[in-house]
Chain A
Amino acid sequence: MHRIIVTVILLVGLGYSLVVLAFGMSDWRPPGDQQGYSPEQPITYSHRLHAGELGIDCKFCHSAAEHGKYAGIPSTDVCMKCHKYVTSSFDLLQEEIEKADKEKRKPKTIISAELQTLYDTLGLVDPKSPEPGADAKSIPWVRVHNLPDFVTFDHSAHIVAGVTCQKCHGPVESMERVRQFESLSMGWCVNCHREATENGIDGHPVNASLNCTVCHH
């Protein structure tokens, strides 16, 4: 009798595990592989709009990429270079101007919900004049591309060699929300290094080293 109870408990446990596993299985991958990872961000910033539609160069915002290891997340003052003036989408602004024209009044400042989040983190009431005393906070972006601590990847070395951003990050200019496009596994890195040494990059010969300590030290 007891044996039956135990067996039933274990079977239920196993069944439960399998069910949970089956759900989890859909995005199961070996530890460390985060291909396709696309977390929700505090601001629904669209790379498609900025980099794709508006054609802003990647390095305009990620300016450190040329100069050092990390491409870096742009500081909020970079956002404010444009968004001091651009507070909403063009259509909404246009609509308000036309409406105000009809009603014979000055157009109101239209602030889109997303940009309001930006202004809030910066402690601004009116984007054009900072509210004194309010604390400017960082935007808590969620890191998408995250290599383990035992790997060093230097953005500038790859940019100098002529590797495009898209080679590793995929077509970010078409992504609404950024997702990790490639596996960024060691095998993937090594293959690219091999290929680059063999074929060069854009016709330039390169020596992409395969020494372990190039990335691991």
Chain B
Amino acid sequence: MSHSDGNRPRTVDLPILAGDSSDMSRRRFLEAAGFTFSLVALNGCSRPNHELALPFTDQPEGQIPGRTQTYASTCSGCSAGCGLLVGVRDGRPLKMEGMPEHPLSKGGLCAIGQALPLGLYDRHRLQHPLQSGKQSDWKQVDQAITKELESIGNSGGAVRFVTSTITSPTLQASINSFLTRFKDARQITLDSVSTSAILDAHEQTHGTRLLPHYLLDQASVIVSFGADFLGTWISPVEFTSAWRTRRVPTEEHPEMSFHAQFEGQMSLTGSNADRRYRLAADEYGAVLNLLYSQLAERAGESEHGDTHGDSPIPAAELSALVDKLWHARGQSLILCDSQDVAVQVLVNAINHLLGNYGKTLDIVKPSLQRQGNDRDVLNLIDELQAGKVSALFVAGTDLTHNLPNRDKLKKAISKVRLVVSFSEREDDFATLAHFVCPDHHPLESWLDAEPISGVVSLYQPLLEPLGETRSILESLGTWSGRKDSAYDILRSSWEKNILPRSKSTSFRNFWDQSVHDGLVEVAPVKSEAGEFNADAVTPIPESKTPSDYCLTLYSRIGLTDSRHAQNPWLQELPDPVTKVTWDNYVCLSKAIAEKLDLVEGDVVRVSTADDETSLELPALIQRGQHDRVISIALGFGVKGTDRFANIGPKWFEGKPTVQPGELVGKNAAPLIDASNGAFQMNRSDVTLTKTGKHRDLASTQEYHSLEMPANVAPHGGEVRDIVQETTLSAFSKDPEAGKPEQHVHGDPQIWPEDHPKEVHNWGMVIDLNACTGCSACLIACQSENNVPVVGKDEVLRQREMHWIRLDRYYGGEDDDVQVSHQPMMCQHCDNAPCETVCPVLATVHSDEGLNEQVYNRCVGTRYCANNCPYKVRRFNWFDYPHEDSLVNLALNPDVTVRSRGVMEKCSMCVQRIEEARIDSKRRGEPLADGDIKTACQQSCPAQAIVFGDLNDSQSAIHATKENPRRYGVLEEFNFQQSVSYLRVVKNRDDHSQDGGEHV
């Protein structure tokens, strides 16, 4: 029997209540019982956890529990080969840092390098070899492959070995010796983002296929045609570091390089240029033609005549640029990312005309960072389609993902008798392979790299391999009948090949020193570059009437190609320009959006003229985008990224990051145009149609605005000088140019001056003129401070957790958009508005100038976040998932993993401060300037961040106190921040608007 009335919940037929009309409802019963039994539960409080402490049986020498040991290695994120210092803690690599002694990267490390640990501790990495897609073991796989190879070798079948650019001399030698066994064997190098045309052009102009080593630190005028050298092009960390050396004007030397960028889409490099011209990729040739002919005229070699063709750039500006280049002969540099060999030949001709070879372009010690040869790849595809290949090996690239015409290619590959992949994951190509022989993660194995001829570095294993993987060196050796370990192969290769190039005589010392340092500089391999061959230069034919659209495929910062798509840190890294996470999209100009009646997020279909390939992606309206250019990022739509469906917190309104059956973004590689002997990243034969669908893009820029909201701003709006800018001409006249006239609300003082800071006073200065917005600091911080990944849905709800936000501001008009980047994190105000409002003293001030956040006191009122003028506080809305014990190995044990309901924010890496302080006590020496480097500062490729003790008159940060460019964001409110910025100086003559709008 049951009854119900309006007020009370319905009761249930408990046997003991049946037939009784008492008030003892189930609820009452549970209340009473709950109270009674909770007392028993309370009893449990007293019992400590029974936790084991398992010591070593044999303590490794020199290992101290809890202390970080640093090993030198090489970054494996791309083929640039930056120097790496790996912090290893109790046997697990935790933190990747740049190696300050490295001649190329000079201590910088990009976001990809910072994110390596997450690639290492990844359950989705293959744990054992595969045979026909099924788990196998090495013995079986080796037997089967050896047998096949023997029979292919005897029958004289063709063996093709496809690799991405290999900078490792040892691996190259291993592949060579592996291939010599076969009569018809060839290695083919495929770069997913290729610079094949530059190498081909040098073959024509200098007689040998090479990529020059660009020396940006030697260039006072840099003109780049589409080359995103600060973002993703060839060796961005090295280029950023070199570019930065000429971007710091001082009072004594108000000089800096001039950087002009011609590009169709807004790249990171374009956003940092002094002058950016909107130019579609199919117009590069026309402008380069004009540049060449005008410069040739100056040089007195004006046989090319035509000096004033139709130019997409105003003639006056072009001739001003020619002036600048001519005056900077031998100190200028033209860069171009075109895949059109004729265009690259013209670029070489201009660089030659300006006398840049040997000055800003080094071809004696050329770069080996990109060796891709698209013509070879195209030949291979023909061979595959003709069924002429018997064995296909693929290492370091996902062949079918990164090339167009995937279906045809797949069919062609099915004709091959033996297909072997060395992929560490089951990628798209691996599913076609008969055997997958997973290589170690680079942090688990020995290898070497020679990114620039003469700079040789080592990779060293930092932990035992986590799975049954095997070094590619050992795999190739085994199949050739040798049993050497990777270490032995590497050592003997160094003894044979590298030692003779050095000045050392004893191999033992040479090797030990090289392993310790991580790198060694030796004599370069003799370059075969000849004299410049002027006959190769032909003017670019007049372009046809411009098409409606010009599609540009680009690589996105942090992902570049498909290799890192399974790394959630990099997927959630906001693109430095568009600020979008977890997706790729079609960037287009406002004009196109108006023409097609699109709003941001409207899905458009991009299809080739023959309508064979099409792609549906949401549109993103980008400032500064050329009106004909639509651009799409590569490296998305990678097999396996559906794993991120449930990456965020699980709650009843939560939406998956990836919809069922979908992947993160879509693969744009099918739109690559394989024509003209190269993979063209630009094509004009595309159409764009609106589909009527909509897909929200998770961008991080539309909120956390520092601008005054329109509804509370005074009449006419208020301009806040958040990013202060000036021009070089103004700066040279008045070093304080660009400083706004403002009233500082300091008198009367509403805060008591009660922060004595007698011993230390930690502070930070960020040089906005050096900062490019590359976002390496953001991932460095994430890795150091256990910042969780929240997933697309949470980003859409404005709940991303990054402690550093890279703010991006636009100024100027579309033709000449000026972009500023500003890293924004807790400013550690002395007069902190957050501290004032915290009801539980969870955020307090230390006597060393830090604004401390005490997680265990925080009750989550979020008043502090509301009151923070910089919007840098992050609230833990959830317990973010930490169930995967393997990923948890990447957590920094020095930093608390925050739980639900507490606020967090930048701590200025206080754990590093404490570590350094204790270390100095152990050594018995006082803390010196530079002993403490915050995570963001350590890896900044532009060295834009200075951290130190403002009380120490000898410190680098103390010196910046006098810098005329120094200012504080919103300093007019007298928050007395510990973080300040150095004003942006653009090398321009005109006065640009200060600040910018937050779009």
Give me the interface of A with B, judged by CB distance under 8 Å.
2-3, 5-6, 10, 13-14, 16-18, 20-21, 24, 27-31, 34, 37, 39, 64, 66-70, 72-78, 122, 136-143, 146, 149-150, 152, 154, 156-157, 160-161, 207, 209, 211-214, 216-217
Contacts and interface: CB of A to CB of B under 8 A. Distances in A.
Contacts of A217: 894-896, 907, 910-911, 914
B854 interface: yes
11 contacts: A16-B40, A64-B65, A68-B66, A69-B65, A73-B55, A141-B53, A154-B918, A157-B921, A160-B921, A211-B852, A217-B911
A76 B907 contact: no
Interface in B61-96: 64-67
A3 B22 contact: yes
Contact of B57 (A16, A137, A141, A214): A137
A34 B897 CA distance: 23
Contacts of A157: 918, 921-922
A216 B846 contact: no
B907 A213 contact: yes
Given A39-B50, A214-B914, A136 B57 contact: yes
B461 to A, nearest CB: 22
Contacts of B57: 75-77, 122, 136-138
A143 B846 contact: no
A45 to B, nearest CB: 12
A67 B22 CA distance: 70
A34 B48 contact: yes
A141 B55 CA distance: 8
A13 B43 contact: no
Given A10-B36, A39-B50, A143-B53, 9 more contacts: A2-B20, A6-B16, A10-B33, A64-B65, A68-B65, A70-B66, A137-B57, A217-B910, A217-B914
B350 interface: no
Contacts of B652: none
B505 interface: no
A21 B42 contact: yes
A87 to B, nearest CB: 18
A17 to B, nearest CB: 4
A43 to B, nearest CB: 12
A211 B48 contact: no
B848 A37 contact: no
Given A18-B39, A157-B921, A2 B66 contact: no
Interface in B847-884: 847-848, 850, 852, 854-856
A145 to B, nearest CB: 10
B29 A6 contact: yes
B848 A10 contact: no
A179 B57 CA distance: 24
A149 B914 CA distance: 17
B39 A17 contact: yes
B911 A152 contact: yes
Interface string B895-933: 111000000000100110010001001100000000000
Contacts of B914: 152, 154, 213-214, 217
Nearest to A26: B46
B316 interface: no
Interface of B: 16-17, 19-20, 22, 24, 29, 32-33, 36-37, 39-40, 42-43, 45-46, 48-59, 64-67, 759, 844, 846-848, 850, 852, 854-856, 894-897, 907, 910-911, 914, 918, 921-922
Given A3-B24, A157-B921, A213-B910, A142 B52 contact: yes
A31 B44 CA distance: 9
B921 A28 contact: no
Nearest to B59: A75
Given A17-B36, A68-B64, A138-B55, A6 B910 contact: no
A142 B64 contact: no
B854 to A, nearest CB: 5
B896 A146 contact: no
A10 B32 contact: yes
Contact of B22 (A2, A70, A209): A2
Closest 5 CB pairs of A and B: A69-B66, A75-B56, A138-B54, A75-B59, A24-B43
A141 B844 CA distance: 39
Given A77-B58, A137-B57, A217-B910, A156 B856 contact: no
Nearest to B45: A31
Nearest to B67: A68
Contacts of B39: 17-18, 21
A3 B56 CA distance: 62
A212 B907 CA distance: 12
B24 A6 contact: yes
A68 B59 CA distance: 15
A2 B23 CA distance: 11
Nearest to B911: A217
B850 A142 contact: no
B520 to A, nearest CB: 31
A68 B855 CA distance: 25
A10 B28 CA distance: 12
B64 A13 contact: no
Of A20, A21, A156, A217, the most chain B CB neighbours within 10 A belong to A217
A21 B65 contact: no
A137 B54 CA distance: 9
Contacts of B856: 150, 216
> Could you say which of A24, A212, A216 has the most chain B C-beta atoms within 10 Å of its C-beta?
A212
A27 B59 contact: no
A214 B895 CA distance: 12
Contacts of A68: 64-67
A137 B854 CA distance: 40
Which of B20, B43, B57, B67 has the most A CB atoms < 10 Å from its CB?
Answer: B57
Contacts of A37: 48
A3 B23 CA distance: 10
Contacts of A154: 914, 918
A140 to B, nearest CB: 5
A149 B36 CA distance: 32
A37 B56 CA distance: 24
A149 B896 contact: yes
Contacts of B29: 6
B55 A75 contact: yes
B974 to A, nearest CB: 24
A17 B49 CA distance: 22
A5 B847 CA distance: 64
Given A64-B65, A161-B921, A213-B910, A143 B51 contact: yes
A211 B24 CA distance: 54
A216 B858 CA distance: 13
A67 B54 contact: no
Contacts of A20: 40, 43
B65 A76 contact: no
Contacts of A75: 55-59
A27 B45 CA distance: 10
A212 B64 CA distance: 26
B16 A72 contact: no
A169 to B, nearest CB: 15
A60 to B, nearest CB: 13
A217 B895 CA distance: 5
A73 B66 CA distance: 12
B848 A142 contact: no
Contacts of A72: 55, 64-65
Contact of A212 (B66, B759, B846): B846
A75 B53 CA distance: 11
Contacts of A149: 896-897
